[in-house]
Amino acid sequence: MELNEALAKLAELQKKLYAYSTADAALYLDGTTVAPKDTAEGRGVALGVLAGERHKLFSAPEVGELLDFLWGQKEALDQLHSRQVEELRRSYAQLTRIPADEYMEYAVLVNEADDVWHRAKERGDFELFRPVLEKLVAFNIKFAGYYDPSKAPYDALLNEYERGVDMKYLDEFFATLRERIVPLLHAIGEKEQPDDSFLRRHYPIEAQRKFSDYLMEILGLDRTHCAIGETEHPYTLNFNNKDVRITTHYHEDDVGNSMYSVIHEGGHAKYELGIRDEVQYTCLAGGVSMGVHESQSRFYENLIGRSLPFIQAIFPKMKEFFPEQLADVTAGQFYRAVNKVQPSLIRTEADELTYCLHIMVRYEVEKQLMVGTLAVKDVPETWNRLYKEYLGVDVPDDKRGCLQDSHWSGGAFGYFPSYALGSAYGAQMLKNMERDMDVWGPVSRGDLSGVSEWLKEKVHQYGGLLEPADVVKNACGQFDPTVFADYLEQKYTELYGL
C-alpha cells in the first residue's frame, strides 16, 4: 500500500465515523428537546442499528491493518496524522479487546440502568437500583482490564476521562484542597450570610429566554453557529466547530439556575467553536478531555461569571429584563448572593467553594468500589457518612444522596474527578492570563473578547491535537492545585470578611 493511499483511507474512515456520531447526536438532540413524549422507541431502533454499524466499521480487521501500516510509517507522518493514528490505534485496541458479546451485553445493561435509576431516584429507593449498580461495577472492573491490564482498574478508568491521571495523583490533589477548603468553610459558618432571597422571586420564563440571548451575546457566541434549546438537564452538544448546541432549563423561581447553566454550557461551546478547521471530521475534533472541557465551562461560569466586574457589567441590562424583581437590588448584593457558601446535598446546586467536597465524596466511593473495599450495598451508608464528615450535612434520603447523579447509571466511573480538576486548571489559567494581559478592565465593560482570544490560543484551537497534559501545560504551566486553593481563599476571605 502506498502512503498516500493509506492516508486517503484514513480520512475516509474518520469521515464515516463522524457521520455516525453526527446521526447519533442529532437523534439525541431531537429526543431531549422537541420530540413528542412517546417517540423514544423508534429512535432507539435507529440508534441500535447505527451503533452496530459503527462497531462493525471500526472493528474490522482491515482497520487494524491500516493503522498498523501507518504506525510503521510514523516517521513520514506529520503531527496531524501521527496523532490521528495514535488515537485511533488506542480506540481500536480497546474496542477489539472487549469481546463482542460482552460489549453488546453492556450496551443493553446501560440502557436498562438509565430507566431503573430514574425510577429508583424518584422513589428514593436504592435497593431497586442496587442489582444494576452491582452489574455496572463488575463490568467496569472487567473492562478496565481490557483498557489497560497493567493498571489498577480504577486507574485505568480514570485514564479514560483524563489521560495521565491516577489515584495517587488525585489523592494528593484532593488532600491539598480539603486541607484548605474545610477551615474556610468553618470560618464562613461563623459569619452572617448574605440575603439571596431575591434570586427566588418570580422570573417569567419569557424574560429569562431573552436574558439567555443576551448572555450568549456577551460570551461572544455566534448565533449563526450556536443555538440554545431547553432540556430537563442542560448540556452542550457539538456536531463540529461550525455547529454547536447548548441547552438550559428555566426555573421561574430561580433566576441564577439558568443564568449559570447558560454561562457554563456557553464555556463548553466556546471551546468547541474555537477548535481549528484542520482537525474537523477526524478523531481529533472536539475537546481533548473531560477535565480540560470542564476547565473552560467552569472558567466562564465561576471565574468570570461569578466575579464582581462581570456582574457589574451586566447588571444594568439585567435590570431591564427583570425591572420589578431586581428593583431594590444592587450589583454588589447580586454578587454576594450568587457566591453564597452553604454546604448542601445536591452537587449541581453547590456553590463554587463546597463543589469540590461533593466531588471528593464521589471519588472516595468510586475508588473504594473499584478497589474492592466497599460493597455496593454499603454505598448509601458510606455516602451519607462522607457527606457528614466533609460537608457537615445529614442526608435525609437516597434521592438527595447517592442516587442524585446519572453518571453511574450511564456507566461512567472515573468521570467525577474531572470536574474538580477542571476548576483547578481554570484558576491557574486565570493567574497566567492576568500576567499576560488586563483581564478585568475589559470584563468590567462587558468585553470578553480578550479572555476568549487567550483561551482560544492556549487551549481551544488544538482540539485533540495535543495530549490533555500538554494542553494543561500550555495554559497552566506546571499544574499546582495550591493556586486554586489560594484563589478560593482570597475570594471568600474578601466576600465574608474572614
Question: Which residues lie near Zn ion (CB under 5 A)?
Answer: 297
* Inter-CA distances, 292 with 117, 166, 169, 301, 373, Å: 28, 16, 16, 14, 30
**Closer residue to Zn ion in complex, CB, 265/489:** 265
Question: Which one, 268 or 399, has the nearer CB to Zn ion?
Answer: 268
Question: Kind and range of the H or E element at 175?
Answer: helix 167-189
Give 291 or 401: the residue with its C-beta nearer to Zn ion. 291
| Cβ-proximal residue to Zn ion, closest one | 297
Q: Which of 318, 208, 292 is nearest to 463 (CA)?
A: 292
Smallest gap from residue 370 Cβ to Zn ion (A): 23
Q: Kindly calculate the radius of gyration of the chain based on its CA atoms and give it in whole angstroms.
A: 23
Residue 72 burial (10 A CB sphere; 0-12, 13-18, 19+): exposed
Strands 226-230 and 243-248: parallel
User: Least distance to Zn ion from the beta carbon of 272, Å?
Assistant: 12
Instruction: Tell me which residue of 293, 423, 418, 304 sits closest to 352, measured CA to CA.
Output: 423
- Residue 453 annotated to the active site: no
**What's the closest the beta carbon of residue 44 comes to Zn ion, in angstroms?**
26
Measured CA to CA, the distance from residue 10 to residue 336 in angstroms comes to 53
Q: Of the residues 162, 265, 364, 366, which is catalytic?
A: 265
Q: Residue 241 or 297: which CB sits closer to Zn ion?
A: 297
Q: Which is nearer to Zn ion, 81 or 293 (CB)?
A: 293
The grid cell for 346 is 445536591
The DSSP annotation for 50-92 comes to: HHHHHHHHHHSHHHHHHHHHHHHTGGGS-HHHHHHHHHHHHHH
Shortest CB 293 distance to Zn ion, Å: 7
Closest CA to 423 of 202, 172, 177: 177
CB 384 within 8 A of CB 395: yes
User: Could you tell me the smallest distance in angstroms from the CB atom of residue 158 to Zn ion?
Assistant: 18
Catalytic residue positions, numbered: 265
